[in-house]
């Protein structure tokens, strides 16, 4: 059967794939567009599985807050290159994932991937279609949903790589934004000292004791040294103990107290944090391609 330009155009519009890929699919399906689409979907799943092992440490953060201000979500979706992360298709997918998570409030990544985006495709199906179309590994890495108590939500995006979602009681819009920006810049672990995980504090104490014992000082002096350093450490990792980025002479805790406000919780995401990136040597990469050809 003759493959016409109109048939190729229709298949492109329905799949978003390239012209040559559509023409080839139509030829293999003997001009049957529905069969071509089915074959392309199967091929896309195979491509997605093949690319699943590649490191995806670039991407975007998205934050959505419900219209009533009672629920909010922050998500991270990864790809392999910053070029793809800035593309319209990838941005649209990230926003769709955030909207789907906010609307359905799933309890896990697995549950989110099973949810329908538009009534026809699940998040996972759309992800695999994106992998096939773009040619990079794409992963919905993580999300967190926050439900408001007595406070109000605020958010801050530093470009698309760092996102902060926080809830504050009695905070004005400008203060909420300033504190969110501070969290983005200063990376606190939690709001107050009582929220610091016990295992994190125990590990730091163990390190400090080992360092202090090398000094040869008496045990009572070592204990005082360690406690002093622990207090300094807690000030460094807690939001209320950190010097405010806009006024380092005042801690965030003092700022909030002066304004009669309180941060009840926050989430800070940074694209790719904790993912081990593969270090490429450009010259070696070019030589490998030359040898392969």
Q: In Å, what is the CA distance from 211 to each residue of 11, 201, 204, 229?
A: 67, 15, 11, 11
Which of 15-19, 81-85, 266-270, 284-288 is modeled with the greatest confidence? Answer: 266-270
Q: How confident is the model at residue 49 (pLDDT cuts 50, 70, 90)?
A: very low
Q: How confident is the model at residue 45 (pLDDT cuts 50, 70, 90)?
A: very low
- Three-state secondary-structure class, residue 215: coil
72, 61 Cβ separation under 8 angstroms: no
What average pLDDT does range 172-193 have in this prediction?
96
Q: 180 or 55: which carries more pLDDT confidence? A: 180
Q: 17 or 186: which carries more pLDDT confidence? A: 186
Report pLDDT digits (tens) over 237-291: 999 999 999 999 999 999 999 999 999 999 999 999 988 765 555 455 555 555 5
What average pLDDT does range 195-204 have in this prediction?
87
CA distance 235 to 188: 9
According to DSSP, the β-strands at 162-169 and 262-270 are: antiparallel
What is the pTM (predicted TM-score) of this model?
Answer: 0.74
CATH numbers and ranges of domains, the chain: 5-51 (1.10.8.10), 55-147 (3.30.479.20)
* CB neighbour burial string for 113-142, b if at least 16 within 10 angstroms, e if fewer: bebebeeeebbbbbbbbbbbbbebbbbbbe
pLDDT at 46 (0 to 100): 42
Q: How confident is the model at residue 43 (pLDDT cuts 50, 70, 90)?
A: low
- Mean of pLDDT over the chain: 86
pLDDT at 281 (0 to 100): 52
pLDDT at 290 (0 to 100): 54
Is residue 70 over pLDDT 80? Answer: yes
Q: 223 or 284: which carries more pLDDT confidence? A: 223
């Amino acid at each position: 059967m003759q493959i016409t330009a109109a048939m190729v155009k229709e298949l492109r519009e329905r799949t978003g794939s390239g012209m040559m890929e559509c023409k080839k699919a139509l030829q293999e399906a003997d001009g049957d567009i529905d069969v071509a689409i089915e074959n392309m979907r199967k091929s896309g799943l195979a491509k997605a599985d093949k690319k699943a092992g590649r490191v995806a440490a670039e991407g975007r953060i998205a934050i959505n807050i419900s219209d009533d201000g009672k629920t909010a979500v922050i998500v991270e979706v990864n790809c392999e290159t910053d070029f793809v992360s800035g593309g319209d298709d990838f941005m649209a997918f990230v926003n769709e994932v955030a909207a789907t998570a906010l609307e359905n409030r799933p309890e896990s990544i697995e549950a989110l991937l099973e949810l329908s985006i538009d009534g026809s495709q699940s998040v996972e199906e759309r992800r695999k279609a994106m992998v096939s179309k773009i040619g990079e590994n794409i992963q919905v890495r993580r999300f967190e949903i926050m439900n408001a108590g007595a406070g109000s939500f605020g958010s801050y995006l530093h470009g698309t790589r760092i996102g902060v979602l926080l809830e504050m009681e009695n905070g004005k819009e400008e203060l909420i934004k300033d504190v969110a920006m501070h969290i983005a810049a200063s990376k606190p672990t939690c709001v107050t000292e009582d929220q610091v995980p016990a295992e994190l504090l125990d590990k730091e104490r163990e390190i400090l004791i080992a360092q202090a014992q090398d000094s040869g000082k008496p045990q009572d002096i070592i204990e005082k040294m360690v406690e002093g350093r622990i207090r300094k450490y807690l000030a460094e990792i807690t939001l209320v103990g950190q010097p405010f980025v806009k006024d380092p002479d005042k801690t965030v805790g003092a700022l909030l107290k002066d304004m009669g406000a309180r941060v009840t919780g926050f989430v800070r995401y940074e694209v790719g944090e904790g993912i081990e990136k593969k270090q490429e040597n450009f010259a070696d990469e070019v030589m490998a391609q030359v040898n392969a050809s």
